[in-house]
């Protein structure tokens, strides 16, 4: 008879430096499904659940749905949201009847009020309801801040190997395969975690670029060695002020000594190259000048500090101000500003807009910017992602208005737009390939799509809660020196 596998997940990347809290409604608004709704939501998507569903079919596993909740990366999650989601998961687990195994999809950088080891505590809560010996396999994001506590709660864990993340389906399938292997034997892998005193900003974590590409290739080679079940490197999410911040190397295999040697080898390889993780930021005025002077477009101006997918508000005006100052042509900026959208909606398409845009969520991403121009588009926007990043996900931007202010096109949205593809621009009538300058509020997730046609990219030194210069932040929870937050760290630890 097919084994019964409970599948569930909660996904949140928490920026503890962000203003405001992440509430239950933020999960309901972005991604929430339970029971069979999960299968409808994730079938044929390149997500962990989509991948696990395909693998389960091949492996003859009977998936029993729990819930899947995800919120846009944002500030500390409220205790109420945390407790409600965990409680509901446990209710669904109890109602699921006899279970042979569990798959849990995590982010690994989730921080809730009163639960500093949130992902680990969530797994522990599930574990507490399972008969001893029930195998549990978890997946985590490449930006996870792994900890010993988390690793201890699962029999095996599988992390994304790509950033931009386009292997979520494959990792979900891998987790199901590892679980399947455990269901038919009592064998469990030895898990070795190495934590480096190193926290590179996401901008330099891209797996298609050096130094990460070479390190991942080395890891993948080691993964094929005899006796190794799976290896992952979680490069960490540095905008979380938690004690377990930093790069984690996880090696799982049959033999303790063998897994340990591989983990130490990878750790030393990364540590020796820490100086090569250079963000190469360009000052704003100079960045705009260079983009305007480039022979062809679009040139991407990357506003890492206002990374909408990393917990920033996505309403930063620092680059927009310079584009207007320097009379840029064919430049596009997307800002999340519900108030300005309402103003434009009241006017309607074809009217002249005049008002402040952006800079309203906090005082860390530039001031509100006076803008005047024609409302050239005004409609609600809902679209399905077609790129290879989070393919098939439905995105709702709410009401959207596009203001044409001379050569600068400003797209105002009610919900934050994460530029994993150009579908949000297309949906609002903006042709990405025709632009000279596109501002993206993203670290590197934008690369998955835009790099296929962009003529240049400049990482801009803007202020904000996802800034690549980590010395801008005040960490209070670290118990050791971490490079590059501190001038250096110590490895191997004494």
Q: In whole angstroms, what is the distance from residue 249 CA to residue 262 CA?
A: 10
* CB 155, CB 136: distance < 8 Å: yes
Instruction: Considering the complex, state which of residue 108 and residue 464 has its C-beta at the smaller distance from Zn ion.
Output: 108
Structure tokens at 39: 């299968």
Find the shortest distance in angstroms from Cβ 202 to Zn ion: 8
Stretch that binds Zn ion, among 46-54, 139-147, 211-219, 475-483 (CB under 5 A): 139-147
Instruction: Considering the complex, state which of residue 236 and residue 297 has its C-beta at the smaller distance from Zn ion.
Output: 236
Stretch that binds Zn ion, among 117-125, 133-141, 186-194, 325-333 (CB under 5 A): 133-141
Find the shortest distance in angstroms from Cβ 311 to Zn ion: 11
Find the shortest distance in angstroms from Cβ 237 to Zn ion: 7
Contacts of 286 (CB under 8 A, 6+ apart): none
Q: For Zn ion, which residue of 141, 155, 241, 337 counts as binding (CB under 5 A)?
A: 141
Instruction: Considering the complex, state which of residue 3 and residue 143 has its C-beta at the smaller distance from Zn ion.
Output: 143
Stretch that binds Zn ion, among 23-31, 85-93, 141-149, 214-222 (CB under 5 A): 141-149
Q: In whole angstroms, what is the distance from residue 172 CA to residue 408 CA?
A: 42
Q: In whole angstroms, what is the distance from residue 13 CA to residue 145 CA?
A: 10
Find the shortest distance in angstroms from Cβ 406 to Zn ion: 37
The Cα-based distances of 125 to 86, 114, 387 in angstroms read: 8, 15, 36
Stretch that binds Zn ion, among 72-80, 110-118, 134-142, 333-341 (CB under 5 A): 134-142
Instruction: Considering the complex, state which of residue 213 and residue 372 has its C-beta at the smaller distance from Zn ion.
Output: 213
Q: In whole angstroms, what is the distance from residue 346 CA to residue 203 CA?
A: 38
Q: Does 161 bind Zn ion (CB under 5 A)?
A: no
Instruction: Considering the complex, state which of residue 65 and residue 70 has its C-beta at the smaller distance from Zn ion.
Output: 70
Query: What is the x/- site pattern for Zn ion, positions 398-437, by CB under 5 A?
Result: ----------------------------------------
Stretch that binds Zn ion, among 60-68, 143-151, 279-287, 467-475 (CB under 5 A): 143-151
* CB 444, CB 202: distance < 8 Å: yes
**Which single residue brings its beta carbon nearest to Zn ion?**
143
Query: What is the x/- site pattern for Zn ion, positions 88-127, by CB under 5 A?
Result: ----------------------------------------
Stretch that binds Zn ion, among 136-144, 184-192, 251-259, 389-397 (CB under 5 A): 136-144
Contacts of 48 (CB under 8 A, 6+ apart): 9, 105, 139, 168, 169, 171, 172, 175
Helices 256-272, 212-223: crossing angle, 10 deg rounding: 170
DSSP for residue 391: T
The percent helix, strand, coil of the chain (3-state, each to 5) is 30, 25, 45
Find the shortest distance in angstroms from Cβ 302 to Zn ion: 16
Structure tokens at 450: 């835009």
* CB 72, CB 26: distance < 8 Å: yes
Instruction: Considering the complex, state which of residue 164 and residue 298 has its C-beta at the smaller distance from Zn ion.
Output: 164
Nearest alpha-carbon partner for 33 in 58, 51, 50: 50
Find the shortest distance in angstroms from Cβ 204 to Zn ion: 14
Q: Scanning residues 267 to 296, which ones bind Zn ion (CB under 5 A)?
A: none
* Residue environment code for 348-384, b if the CB has 16+ CB neighbours within 10 A, otherwise e: eeeeebebbbbbbbeebbbebbebebebbbbeebebe
Find the shortest distance in angstroms from Cβ 169 to Zn ion: 15
437-440 β-sheet, strand order? 352-357, 369-384, 394-405, 408-413, 331-336, 437-440, 299-302, 456-459
Stretch that binds Zn ion, among 76-84, 140-148, 305-313, 316-324 (CB under 5 A): 140-148
228-234 β-sheet, strand order? 190-195, 248-253, 228-234
Q: For Zn ion, which residue of 3, 12, 105, 143 counts as binding (CB under 5 A)?
A: 143
Find the shortest distance in angstroms from Cβ 427 to Zn ion: 24
Q: Alpha helix locations (H) across 315-362?
A: 318-325, 338-347
Stretch that binds Zn ion, among 93-101, 135-143, 285-293, 384-392 (CB under 5 A): 135-143
Total interface residues for Zn ion by CB under 5 A: 2
Give the footprint of Zn ion on this chain (CB under 5 A): 141, 143
């Amino acid at each position: 008879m097919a084994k019964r596998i409970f599948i569930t997940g909660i996904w949140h990347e928490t920026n503890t430096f962000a203003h405001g809290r992440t509430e239950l409604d933020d999960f309901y608004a972005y991604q929430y499904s339970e029971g069979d709704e999960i299968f409808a939501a994730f079938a044929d998507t390149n997500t962990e659940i989509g991948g696990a569903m395909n693998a389960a079919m091949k492996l003859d596993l009977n998936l029993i749905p729990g819930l899947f909740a995800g919120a846009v990366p944002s500030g500390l999650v409220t205790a109420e949201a945390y407790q409600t989601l965990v409680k509901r998961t446990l209710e669904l687990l109890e109602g699921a009847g006899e279970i042979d195994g569990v798959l849990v999809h995590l982010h690994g950088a989730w921080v809730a009020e009163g639960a500093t080891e949130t992902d680990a505590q969530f797994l522990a809560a599930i574990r507490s309801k399972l008969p001893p010996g029930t195998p549990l396999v978890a997946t985590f994001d490449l930006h996870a801040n792994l900890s010993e506590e988390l690793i201890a709660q699962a029999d095996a864990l599988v992390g994304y190997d790509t950033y931009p993340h386009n292997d979520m389906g494959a990792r979900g399938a891998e987790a199901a395969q590892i679980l399947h292997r455990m269901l038919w034997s009592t064998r469990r892998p030895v898990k070795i975690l190495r934590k480096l005193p190193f926290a590179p900003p996401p901008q330099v974590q891209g797996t298609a670029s050096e130094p990460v590409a070479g390190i991942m290739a080395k890891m993948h080679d080691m993964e094929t060695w005899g006796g190794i079940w799976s290896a992952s490197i979680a490069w960490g999410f540095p905008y979380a002020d938690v004690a377990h911040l930093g790069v984690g190397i996880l090696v799982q295999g049959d033999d303790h000594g063998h897994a340990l040697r591989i983990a130490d080898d990878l750790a030393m390889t990364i540590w020796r190259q820490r100086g090569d993780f250079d963000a190469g930021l360009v000052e704003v005025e100079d960045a705009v000048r260079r983009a305007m002077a480039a022979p062809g477009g679009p040139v991407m101006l990357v506003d890492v500090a206002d990374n909408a997918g990393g917990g920033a508000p996505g309403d930063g005006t620092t680059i927009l101000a310079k584009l207007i100052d320097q009379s840029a042509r064919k430049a596009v900026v997307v800002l999340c500003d519900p108030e300005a959208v309402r103003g434009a909606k009241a006017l309607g398409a074809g009217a002249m807009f005049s008002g402040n845009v952006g800079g309203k969520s906090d005082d860390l991403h530039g001031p509100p910017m006076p803008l005047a121009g024609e409302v050239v588009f005004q409609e609600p926007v809902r679209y399905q992602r077609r790129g290879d990043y989070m393919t098939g996900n439905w995105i709702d931007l709410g009401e959207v208005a596009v203001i044409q202010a001379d050569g600068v096109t400003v797209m105002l949205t009610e919900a934050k737009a994460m530029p994993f593809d150009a579908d949000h621009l297309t949906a609002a009538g903006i042709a990405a390939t025709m632009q000279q300058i596109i501002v993206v509020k993203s670290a590197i997730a934008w690369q998955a799509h835009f790099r296929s046609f962009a003529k240049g990219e400049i990482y801009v030194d803007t202020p904000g809660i996802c800034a690549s210069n980590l010395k801008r932040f005040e960490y209070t929870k670290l118990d050791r020196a971490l490079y590059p937050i501190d001038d250096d760290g110590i490895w191997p630890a004494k």
